[in-house]
Structure 1
């Protein structure tokens, strides 16, 4: 029997895909630029200095989340909620309050880091080369935090254009281009830090302009609800901080226990794994405000369908890259220069953990955007403690391989726990026919490439293997058949040349 059509659900699927499609192209560009930057840094600075760069960047990533204090997620949620309730005053008050808190905290933290940079470099990291990069991070921090919060607010308007064009295109473009010019002129690590500052200055300015245009002019007086916004922000902040602690704690701990060269190798391996999963960010960013809107409107069936569709797209778009990275890590790492191929085992372990993250879908967003950030916070704090404990135990024994194992285990555990919680609380699972077809196609592609490896000459192994994986994966997906959601998206793509109806999520 053919299932009953759900036109409003179809519009949500198409709307998510439209925003996700823009983000997908932009995210692909961002990750290519990030990979290009990693290659440039590795070749121009070497393993040791590139390790110093990534340690300072890890500090920026962690402190920016403390500075934002969860207001990015809160702005996305409450802007979407107040727009669904047709409350322009609530929207304006939420945006103003969220940005004010972010700017104040970021400036305060930046000043503290600037003053403590020398002590941290000498006493915490035992590497005085970190002092100047940490001061550069302190100056960049307010810009990073403001752009993050402002773009969080723009996503609440159910448009992905500012996020995609600024965060995923403009900022990485500026960073790569300025770094290339400065490094090729011999500026070294200071040049890389200048490029970091300039890129975030550009992102902050354009984010402010984009948000201003979306807000427009309104006669409605701003309605400030600090208890609601800051309460959600605090809990969301704890959850996000723990998540990013899971992402960056290993870099910090490797820098403390091992050498900057080890940090460099580990982070190059991490760049490859992040590249494989680049589709997660754009799809999740498009899905997040729709969770808040659909849940607020009580449209559980549409939310369930959209949740499964998002997970299916993440798995099917990332699986070929995971297969290639897992089978050819040494060949890929060799592009970064001599000495990086020792991270092959690290790459495979990290890829295994990240694939579990991809395969469980946007379960953390489901908890957070449906108004349950406390559960998400608890999950993340527990798994962060586990990750840090495992790192402290395993790094002195197994080095960067031990750190990779700790990270992969912690990431897999927290995502499996989230899937169970979403099922128990909301009655929804991220799995569907599309994901099953993708996994079957992935298994077939894996068999095909393993069989083909014995016939390819060593110098063509990577190119041949990648071609076999992609062709066999696409062919098997077509043989297994498209899902209803896939057909909707193909129909949307076929109509791109014609005027489209407005995407209504209300």
Structure 2
């Protein structure tokens, strides 16, 4: 017997190197699969996010055809409604992904668990939407009186976007949990902006005003909902989800997870719109709010890259955290942070290089005064700096949520909101629009430093590595030729085109000469294949 045990022990010892090699090979394949999914999914969404930037074309249309005053009133009214829509969503964009992934990894009654989670999410979305609709309908007059601006009737129309927005998010988040990113692109980056642009053009050409624009916003929300429902039905049974609603639902579990996420989303939405909401109160001339909105819309292009990675990274982070593969998760954080920095640096530089001609193109009549143009450029620069910092460390927010600490995001956003509100109270009365931009930039830098310290404290993960110096060096090298070309051009379109093309070309060549990482080559390979298909 002892001989047999000894022989078995020897066999185990001899087999262990092969077993270790097999495990290493499986881990490498899983890592490559995750990187490919990150690259492929994020590129799909990034193209969609950049297409969604065409929503800026809607702002341009109503500014050009209706004027800065109407655009400023619309921006203020929609700032209120879109903020409250985060309550209607009830944190379900993340909650749906989390519970669908939990059901898929349970191994037992997967379909029934998925349907129950989706039914619970849909029911919570409808209840939260009803609260939002009733609350804003009855408080619209009070909000109008507070701002002393005619936005009450428009808000009463826009508030009915809440149920459509909330349910559309449940549907697209369910397919995101399956790592299908393109549906969200179809809904929010193609369908929505197309409806807004067409509707805004019709309203402007017909000489209509704010109330008609509010109806365009509602039609867009309904269109997004219908498309999301059709795409959802390709992978989930609508009848099965409705049938699950008659059974016992995990309402408490979904609400317990999604509730803190909803509060976090709400606070972030208030933060996103805080400058517009406070400028609407402090600034008498609503046209200046319109100028700020245009500059902020341009600067927000810098946030498209992290938003593109958010969906697929959340799914992968949820899976890795559920299986306690923290080391692999740290690698994914580093890769995504480097990719976001690599993508955003040329966008950031190009916005600053061609900001003036872009603002002139957005509405030459509205920016006829040189002082208005300079004001818009200063706001654009300040907001771009803050949003660049936010984009690089944005991965920390979904990381905290998907590793079981959504409460930290809530705490962070409370600190962010209070800090930004306090700075705005001090800076806006003294410095106006510039004060609002500076307040936003300062609090953004503070909160991102806090987030990075938290993911290191609780997960020992840092989004820093020496390889991130390569895109920084390439960005610095590309500035010189682009700046020289900008100064040499006289035509407006050439002042936009030539510096941008020069900067991107020099940046890419320098980056390749410095050497690409393995994950970067995977990303480039995905991009090349999608370009060839197109």
Q: Which residue of 1 aligns with 2:37?
A: 15
Provide the aligned C-alpha RMSD in A: 2.4
Query: For residues 133 and 171 of structure 1, what CA distance do their matches in structure 2 show?
Result: 19
Kept in 2, the 8 Å contact 1:157–1:214? The answer is no
Does 2:335 match 1:309? yes
Kept in 2, the 8 Å contact 1:433–1:483? The answer is no
Match of 1:118 among 125, 135, 141: 141
What aligned pairs does 1:36-435 form with structure 2 within 5 A after superposition?
A: 36-86=57-107, 87-121=110-144, 123-127=145-149, 129-216=150-237, 224-258=249-283, 259-337=285-363, 338-339=366-367, 341=373, 342-432=375-465, 434-435=467-468
Deviation (angstroms), 1:367: 0.1
Please give the TM-score of this superposition, normalised by the length of structure 1. Answer: 0.92
Deviation (angstroms), 1:11: 0.2
Query: Closer, same or farther in 2 for the Cα pair 1:469/1:493, shift >3 Å?
Result: closer
Query: For residues 250 and 303 of structure 1, what CA distance do their matches in structure 2 show?
Result: 35
Q: Once the two structures are superposed, what CA deviation does each residue of 1:214-236 show, in whole Å capped at 9, x if it has no partner?
A: 22376996663233211111111
Deviation (angstroms), 1:59: 1.1
Deviation (angstroms), 1:76: 1.5
Q: Which residue of 2 aligns with 1:502?
A: none
Query: For residues 28 and 52 of structure 1, what CA distance do their matches in structure 2 show?
Result: 25
Where does structure 1 lack aligned partners over 5 or more consecutive residues?
Answer: 500-506
Larger radius of gyration: 2
Kept in 2, the 8 Å contact 1:72–1:152? The answer is yes
SS in 1 for 2:61: helix
Higher mean C-alpha deviation, range 335-344 or range 446-455: 446-455
Kept in 2, the 8 Å contact 1:179–1:195? The answer is yes
Kept in 2, the 8 Å contact 1:176–1:195? The answer is no
Deviation (angstroms), 1:438: 1.2
Kept in 1, the 8 Å contact 2:85–2:165? The answer is yes
Higher mean C-alpha deviation, range 168-177 or range 180-189: 180-189
Query: For residues 234 and 382 of structure 1, what CA distance do their matches in structure 2 show?
Result: 18
Kept in 2, the 8 Å contact 1:166–1:203? The answer is yes
Query: For residues 332 and 440 of structure 1, what CA distance do their matches in structure 2 show?
Result: 26
Kept in 1, the 8 Å contact 2:92–2:121? The answer is yes
Query: For residues 88 and 422 of structure 2, what CA distance do their matches in structure 1 show?
Result: 25
Where does structure 2 lack aligned partners over 5 or more consecutive residues?
Answer: 1-23
Kept in 2, the 8 Å contact 1:346–1:404? The answer is yes
Please give the TM-score of this superposition, normalised by the length of structure 2. Answer: 0.87
Higher mean C-alpha deviation, range 488-497 or range 129-138: 488-497
Query: For residues 114 and 323 of structure 1, what CA distance do their matches in structure 2 show?
Result: 43
